[in-house]
Amino acid sequence: MLTRKQHELLRFIQTRLEESGISPSFEEMKEALDLKSKSGVHRLISALEERGFIRRLPNRARALEVLRQPEDTNSKPAQPAAPASSNETAAPRVVPQPANDVVEIPLHGRIAAGVPIEALEGQSTLPVPAALLGSGEHYALEVSGDSMIDAGILDGDFALVKRTSNARDGEIVVALVRGEEATLKYLRREGSMVRLDPANSAYEPQVYGPDEVEVQGKLAGLLRRYH
């Protein structure tokens, strides 16, 4: 049997997941259960995890998954289930996957979406929703300039870039020009030449020799701050 507080916490987590797909923060759990400190929440979480009612998703910020519920909770069943053999062996419930998974990726300074500028290497990281990233290694660059506005990329956006040296014609890439400057552009190939196209009619395409341009990644997503 669960203690009253364990039971309350489990139901609170389950309700939040069903409503929004996002597991509550430790501060929200502390307030919901009227606890004096977050250490009490940690103890309850650990107890529920040890007994197989929840699990913490690895490498994801505050992400919890409810594995099962005691038979006597008042939450609505997902599907009719066969009778359980004991009070704590009810059929597993299907709940929305937590939508607040966050990963930290390197933030490498600013990149031009106009005339190429130097790509700054930095030691910062940027927290990014995992849903914006696919497989592979990623990094972030802060966009400077307006040459990609018609592609929805604005000055001050954070470009989420999948690290790769290969890209198809028409993809938006991070291109290192002459080993010194980096820019965010559409990649086009014209015979043996490489053309970097803006998405703004105020700018002209940039054409380089095949040895002057190195693809360092392709655009995987964007983050934007609203001030």
Question: What positions carry a catalytic annotation?
Answer: 147, 185
Q: What is the CA radius of gyration of the chain?
A: 24
**How far does Cα 46 stand from its chain's mean position?**
26
CB 215 within 8 A of CB 187: yes
For residues 113 and 222, give the distance between their C-alpha atoms in angstroms, rounded to a whole number.
13
Residues 6+ apart with CB under 8 A from 165: 214, 215, 216
The answer to whether 14 touches 69, Cβ cutoff 8 Å, is: yes
